[in-house]
Amino acid sequence: MPEVLARFIGPVSCARAADIPGLTLTGRTTESPDEDAAIAFSAPAPADFPETLPGAVVERVGATQWRISSAARAWLVTGAVQVHEEIAAQFYRAIPPRPAPWTKRLMWRLVLALAASPAGIRLLQRLGR
């Protein structure tokens, strides 16, 4: 029984390359609809593979064999696969960034204010030596 690796929603960009990865699918998935995900195959793309697919599904059908299906069409790709998901939003929801200390904020405001004038730039250059 095939195991679903990813279900894309909307258009899927399909990038071909002469080296590894030979085929990369990029788009939004049902698992994370707000972030882009990319699936990179170590095998070359099939000869008749399009540049974009509407709502593709990637399934494992063998140890290293994958079926990419979209609408009424399906392709088989044999090779290793890597899944890349953007997790920055999830990470920062779980661990919010720490606010900078007030002394550091004050120091940078002062440096930027000095850098706004030629005299301030000369002063900063002297202090940097």
What are the pLDDT tens digits along the chain (129 aa)?
Answer: 678 888 999 888 888 887 778 888 999 888 878 888 899 998 888 888 888 888 899 999 888 899 999 887 899 888 899 888 888 777 888 988 888 999 999 999 999 999 999 999 999 999 888
Q: Where are the domains of the chain?
A: 3-91, 99-128
User: In this structure, are residues 22 and 41 in contact, taking their beta carbons and an 8 Å threshold?
Assistant: yes
pTM, entire model: 0.65
